[in-house]
Homo-oligomer: A and B are copies of this chain.
Amino acid sequence: MVRSLGKHLIAEFYNCNNEILDNVEKVEYYMKKAAIETGATIVTSTFHRFLPHGVSGAVIVSESHLAIHTWPEFGYASIDLYTCGDDVDPWKAFEYLKKAFNSNRTEVNEHKRGLYNEIGIPENSSHKVEVE
């Protein structure tokens, strides 16, 4: 098995609820809840509503980040779910958000980030690499 520091889901959500995608409070709430669903710890976050429409934001977690950009006029949201470590699962955020945004069609690419062999971490290290 190729080991990596993190897993990054690059997700496209189609046919979402337009009203939710244009509501910055709701988008922020759902993104934070999604972060918690993965098992991650929220560190900081920032969200913004654009004029005439659309929301962008990111939640930094100890285990990496979740980010979103919405195009409510198309019912489309571009979502990144990136977590590090064995104790968290970005797919839980994916399933949660699919329901929260009421999307009936999604597309996901999963990337491994920070491959141990590329960075030079021994493959048999424990996942939480301890450094003196």
Query: Which residues of A approach B to under 8 Å, CB–CB?
Result: 5-6, 8, 10, 12, 14, 43-48, 50, 52-53, 56-58, 60, 62, 64-65, 67, 69, 71, 73-74, 76, 78, 80, 82, 84, 107, 109, 111, 113-115, 118-121, 129, 131
Interface of A is mostly: strand
Residues on the B chain within 8 Å of A76, using CB: 5, 114, 119
Given contacts A78-B113, A113-B78, A121-B74, contact A48 B69 (CB under 8 A): no
Copies of this polypeptide in the complex: 2
Question: Which of B56, B82, B114, B115 is within 8 Å of A43, CB to CB?
Answer: B56
Whether B113 and A12, one on each chain, are in contact in the complex, defined by CB atoms closer than 8 angstroms, is: yes
